[in-house]
Amino acid sequence: MLFSITVNNRKITAEKGETILSALNRNGINIPTLCRMKDFTPTGACRLCVVEVEGRENLVTACSEPVEEWMNIRTHSPRVIKARKTIVELLLSKHPDECLFCINNLDCELQRLAAELNIRERRIKGRKIKPGIDQSGHSIVKELSKCVLCGRCVRVCEELVTVSTLDFINRGQKTRVGTSMNQDLNFTSCINCGQCVNVCPTGALHVKQNITEVQEYLSNHDYLKVVQYSPMVPLAVAEELGIKAPKDIDRILNGILKKIGFNKVFLTGTGTDIMIEALAEEILKRTDATDQSPLFVSACPAWVKYAEQSLHDELENLSKLKPPQQITGSLIKTILSKQLGIKPQQIYSVSVTPCTAMKFEARRDSMMTKGICDVDSVLTVRELVKLIRLYGIDVSGTEGEAADEPLNVRSALSVLAEVSGGITESIVRKIFFRLTGKDADRKMFRNIRSGGSFREAEFAPGGRKIAVAVVDGLSGLPRLYQSIASGRKYHIVEVMVCPGGCVNGAGLQVCMSKEDLKNRVKQIYQTEESDILQIETFSRHLADFRGKYLDKDELLKDKKILHTYFSKRDVLL
Ligand code: SF4
Ligand code: SF4
Ligand code: FES
């Protein structure tokens, strides 16, 4: 039911059941908020969104108060502005004065609020929270002296990621965001997804930066410096730089990476293609042998860690193929060292990705070959853009160039690995092609391309039945297990921790709305469809690559270096 209310002496329409904040925003009236997150139930914790409602003695929090027909509201009265200003001043009174050196400098909600409320002096002096930086993890850094206790991270970790690593500990003045037994992050159930970083309004939670070490290696002439990047990185770099991606953005990115100082540029997509082909082979073998156990795709490193700590019985069903970043990394070191007559240790290999958990993935013992890391450093897209700015690269004046052989070609299908359900679709399309000689109609995959956190479908390539399940965010796991318990059998199960897939990774610019995320997903499907290396042409290329490298090289032929293992992890849950 629609009705009108008065706001700042103006009539606006409101809807029964919505909050005051929602009615204000829909009518273009903005007020500051801090603890509130779109699509989450409000907690009313920070009180920054207070407004004055005629007839109410106290100010009310607009994010949690339902709008009523009789309301006459003032959003920016002197009393309201004073209250908001005091709230932010109190937060600043405990905050360290380190803005100049903070990773979030110029990209901080607290800074923005202070500026918006015209806070130009320290009126309130509070006791600073003891500095203490938890750098134990490879992906996420916790610096709680900068925490404003908005609770967003706690809610995202619990409600969206469903891991509940973070929680409020202590009471009153001593309240902090902590972990189970207040252990350092690396020893907790944290799966490094970075979704908490995406919502933290300050620098209290941030992605571990590897820029400095990359810079050091770039200026060291004893190493061959190589870089790989995943298919969505070029689009994401354009988005982060605020430019419209030109058609040849992939080639331009190759040129940019060379200007930065990398000797060779490779495509992670080649590794994705090798993984997809091997998974398709495995599924075909299983359907031949009527193997009943589902094959869980292990390309999402956050999901793999989750399974290692919470789903021990599932570990044997996880695909033992390395994920694309690591396949590409191990191929780079193996092939290049032989081609150039250098030791693998003389190759410094960097990967650029949308994902924060891949920083952790690259450091796993199981991702090393004879004690040598497949990938030495992982940069997120946001870190790469910092590097581009740091080196003053003129992006618009950069000539496009090809990636370097031998990992210089990727198929259209490899692009799909960036979205939830994309790896499953790619495997099924590979199988269709193998059995029928034709690519499958994309429309067949509608049910796994969208439709909630648990999606399933059945396909019949060449008359063979293949049942698949896609878990888009861990909140979809209970439905998968309900379905399995009811007797449903799947050949392929794909789980991605970040809802939407890698397009929503924490190494990218934060998606501000569901629409933004949908647009990114759409971009990936459009890129796949318009890519010139469709399945038929690419299959010929991959066969050449196999003949030239994979089948010739003894080390690669036994495929050990392309495989990994998983172990149970004991963490405090
Ligand atoms: S990185 Fe993910 S799992 Fe770890 S604390 Fe943050 S939201 Fe939770
Ligand atoms: S760590 Fe960040 S998101 Fe979590 S409560 Fe503190 S300020 Fe909020
Ligand atoms: S934004 Fe409304 S109480 Fe925090």
**What value does the mean pLDDT take over residues 354-382?**
95
Contact at 8 Å (CB) between 408 and 402?
A: yes
Fold of 89-207: Alpha-Beta Plaits (3.30.70)
pLDDT for residue 557: 65
Residue 555: which pLDDT band, with cuts at 50, 70 and 90? Answer: low
* Category of 320 on φ-ψ map: left (φ > 0), alpha (ψ -120 to 50) or beta: alpha
CATH code linked to domain 2-76: 3.10.20.740
Distance 164 CA to ligand 1 centre (A): 8
**3-class DSSP state of 35:** coil
> Which of 153, 167, 193 should be mutated for ligand 1, with most atoms under 8 A from CB?
193
Nearest to 240 by CA among 383, 371, 124: 383
**3-class DSSP state of 343:** coil
End-to-end alpha-carbon separation of the chain, Å? 45
The atom of ligand 1 lying closest to the CA of 156 is 7
| CA separation for the pair 266, 406 (Å, rounded) | 8
The atom of ligand 2 lying closest to the CA of 35 is 8
Task: Provide the mean pLDDT of the chain.
Answer: 94
For the chain, what percentages of helix, strand and coil (3-state, to nearest 5) are there? Answer: 45, 15, 40
| CA separation for the pair 202, 144 (Å, rounded) | 10
Distance 204 CA to ligand 2 centre (A): 6
**Domain(s) of CATH 3.10.20.740: residues in the chain:** 2-76
Residue 437: which pLDDT band, with cuts at 50, 70 and 90? Answer: very high
**Domain(s) of CATH 3.30.70.20: residues in the chain:** 89-207
**Helices 211-218 and 381-390: crossing angle, nearest 10°?**
50
pLDDT for residue 561: 83
Alpha helices in 31-103 (DSSP H): 78-94
Residue 302 has pLDDT above 80, yes or no: yes
Distance 41 CA to ligand 3 centre (A): 11
Q: What is the pTM of this model?
A: 0.94
Ligand 2 shell residues, CB under 6 Å = 147-153, 177, 199-202, 204-205
Ligand 3 shell residues, CB under 6 Å = 33-36, 44-49, 61, 63
Residue 554: which pLDDT band, with cuts at 50, 70 and 90? Answer: low
Nearest residue CA, atom 2 of ligand 2?
200
Place of tokens 């969505």: 232
Fold of 268-344+395-562: Fe-only Hydrogenase (Larger Subunit); Chain L, domain 3 (3.40.950)
pLDDT for residue 172: 85
**Domain(s) of CATH 3.40.950.10: residues in the chain:** 268-344+395-562
Residue 559 has pLDDT above 80, yes or no: no
pLDDT for residue 323: 97
Ligand nearest to the CA of 177: 2
Ligand 1 shell residues, CB under 6 Å = 140, 156-157, 161, 163, 165-166, 190-196
What does the pLDDT look like over 56-69, one tens digit per residue?
Answer: 999 999 999 999 99
The atom of ligand 3 lying closest to the CA of 64 is 2
Residue 203 has pLDDT above 90, yes or no: yes
Place of tokens 């060291």: 220
Contact at 8 Å (CB) between 195 and 160?
A: yes
Nearest residue CA, atom 7 of ligand 2?
147
Q: Which residues fall within 8 angstroms of residue 462, CB to CB, at 6 or more apart?
A: 431, 432, 435, 436
Question: Which position has the higher pLDDT, 540 or 274?
Answer: 274
What does the pLDDT look like over 20-36, one tens digit per residue?
Answer: 999 999 999 999 999 99
pLDDT for residue 28: 97
Alpha helices in 65-165 (DSSP H): 78-94, 109-116, 152-155
What does the pLDDT look like over 76-130, one tens digit per residue?
Answer: 999 999 999 999 999 999 999 889 999 999 999 999 999 999 999 999 988 887 7
pLDDT for residue 545: 84
Nearest residue CA, atom 3 of ligand 1?
190
C-alpha dihedral (91, 92, 94, 99), degrees to nearest 10: 130
**What value does the mean pLDDT take over residues 388-403?**
95
**Helices 324-340 and 268-288: crossing angle, nearest 10°?**
120
For a pLDDT cut of 90, what percent of the chain falls above it? Answer: 84
Alpha helices in 162-299 (DSSP H): 195-199, 211-218, 233-241, 249-260, 268-288
Residue 137 has pLDDT above 80, yes or no: yes
Nearest to 251 by CA among 239, 271, 261, 237: 237
**3-class DSSP state of 126:** coil
Distance 378 CA to ligand 1 centre (A): 18
> Which of 37, 165, 169, 303 should be mutated for ligand 1, with most atoms under 8 A from CB?
165
Residue 291 has pLDDT above 90, yes or no: no
Cross-strand pairs, 336: none
Residue 483: which pLDDT band, with cuts at 50, 70 and 90? Answer: very high
Ligand nearest to the CA of 506: 1
Residue 358: which pLDDT band, with cuts at 50, 70 and 90? Answer: very high
| CA separation for the pair 208, 378 (Å, rounded) | 10
**What value does the mean pLDDT take over residues 502-513?**
92
Nearest to 389 by CA among 230, 248, 256: 256
